Structures are given as C-alpha cells and as structure tokens.
Amino acid sequence: MSSTPLVSIIIPTYNHAHFLHEALQSVCDQTFSDWEVLVINNYSEDDTIEVVKVFDDSRIHLENFRNNGVIAASRNYGIGMARGEYLAFLDSDDTWFPEKLSICITMLEEGRDLVCHGLHWFGNRNERNQYYGPASRSTYDALLYKGNCIATSATIVRRGLVEAVGGFSESLEVVTAEDYHLWLKLAQAGVEMTFVERILGSYRFHATNAGTAIKQAKAVGYVVEDFLPKQELRNLREKARVRLRYGIINYGVGRSLQANRQFFAARPYFLRSLSLHPLYIKTYIALILNTFCIKND
C-alpha cells in the first residue's frame, strides 16, 4: 500500500497456524479498514506461511524473524517496521470483535494515549468476561504495588509513546511479563490510559501448569524489582508495601495452580502470601477454598 495506514497491528506467532487464520480473519472483519498487519513469524514449522497467503490482502505482511524464545523481540521487530500512528497488539491465538478498532481508534483520535477493552475468555476453563482497569488502577503507583490490569491483545497505544520508552524489554528474566514491564514504563512516563467497559475481543485460555505459573511469578518479581526503590531507600512504609506486593505475587501463583486443580501445589503459595502480608483478605478466602477442595478432591 502506498498510503500510510493509521494503525499497525503486530501479531507475533510460532506454530499457531490453526489459530492464526481466526486471528487474521477477525482483523479483516473489522468495520475500520485503515490498518496494516505485521505477522512476525518465528520460523514456524507448521502451515503459518500458507495461512497468511490464503488471505491475499496487501495490508497483511509476513516477516520471518527468529526471536530465540523472546516474544518481546518479535513485538519490537514489528514496532520497528510499523508505519501507523497507533500500535495494536494481537496474539495469534486471540481474536477481535468487528467493532474493536472503530471504537478504540475513535477514543485515541479524541486525545487518549492508550485504550484497553474487555475480553471474553474461553478455552479450558469456564467461559467468562474479563474487564481491565479501571483508570485508577493504571497509575504507576497502582500498577507497581497492586499488579497488572492491562491485556496486550486488548490494547492500542500511540506508537511514538512506545518508542519513547524503548519498547518491550527483551530481558530473559521478564519473559512472560514483558507487557507488564512496558505498561509500567508508559505509566512512569505519564501516559494516560483509558479503559472501555465493553467486550471487544476474545482471549483463548490455555491450561496453565506449575512450571508456567511459577515462571510467570518469577518474571513478575523481576519486573517489580526493576521499578521498586532500592533496598537502602525503603522506609518502614515502603517495606510494608513491598511485602504486600510479593504477597500478591504468591497469591496469584496459588490462584493459577488452584484454577488448574493443583490444590496441594497451590497451598504453600497461599501460606507464603499470608506470611508476607497477613492482612490480605483474598488469601484467607483462597486458603479456605483450597482446604475444602483438598478434602473433596
């Protein structure tokens, strides 16, 4: 295309040909058409290239790029190629509803910096609608101490802002939490984040396991450490907030394991969460449920 598209959609993929067709079709079905798609293919060994060719759409571009297991590298490669004023991220196993771009682009054109909408979760768990935000949870302080509240496949942001903070971190330590790292950098830079209380896409849930949950927790821990005040600068209040943050991380691991019916594996994480912050009410509730599930499993 000779004209410059308004939005660049970055889709990193690896051996997801069976999902990629749905993702691309959901983009082609958008009521807003001024876009380009950059499929960043990590040298897939399936039919990924053939899937892209089937669409025969000049707005869809496929680039082979070896990311060595770091999906952030693929996203950054796409950002480097992007021509649009806005960046939209879509994982190759997720999909969008037809009005997604139209609604989000309208809000960006009205002056917002980043827009995130709700997603319909489906897959190996019971289906549910997941909403993100609200704006009060997307400040730098709230993101750092209370956790992530933004979903990559639901987010559109001004390209210049992402470039200004250096894009996604490609550090091996933050793999699986590189999006959280980026949101923190954007929040730290004062980027205004807006949330749409509408379901405008679908997130395909893949069952987690102990290794995945623990790896995610470690990655989140590295991200948090990257932004927290250095140890010597922490006063008593700051130390309490840090303990709460790590309590939340352990709680999250326990919830992930428990949701995958790994009740015994989840229990130590709930207990560790309580030891770090005994006033975190959610952990008590989860621990009671865990005890009930162990007795009845």
What mean pLDDT comes out for the span 142-168? Answer: 97
pLDDT tens for 232-281 read 778 888 899 999 999 999 999 998 888 778 899 999 999 999 999 898 89
Does the structure show a pLDDT above 80 at 208? no
pLDDT band at 206 (very low <50, low <70, confident <90, very high): low
CATH fit for domain 7-205, picks 3.40.640.10, 1.20.1260.10, 3.40.50.300, 3.90.550.10: 3.90.550.10
Q: What share of the chain in percent tops pLDDT 90?
A: 81
What mean pLDDT comes out for the span 126-154? Answer: 95
Beta strands in the chain (DSSP E): 7-13, 35-41, 60-64, 86-89, 95-96, 114-123, 128-130, 155-158, 193-205
Average pLDDT, the chain: 93
Cα–Cα distances in Å, from 238 out to 140, 226, 230, 241?
Answer: 15, 15, 10, 5
Name residue 121's beta-bridge partners.
128, 203
What pLDDT, on the 0 to 100 scale, is given for residue 1?
40
Does the structure show a pLDDT above 60 at 211? no
What pLDDT, on the 0 to 100 scale, is given for residue 127?
85
- Predicted TM-score (pTM) of the model is 0.92
pLDDT tens for 29-66 read 999 999 999 999 999 999 999 999 999 999 999 999 99
**Domain spans, the chain:** 7-205, 224-296
Does the structure show a pLDDT above 60 at 89? yes
Name the nearest CA neighbour of 157 among 233, 271, 79, 91.
79
What pLDDT, on the 0 to 100 scale, is given for residue 261?
83
In the three-class reduction of DSSP (H, G, I as helix; E, B as strand; rest coil), residue 46 is classed as coil
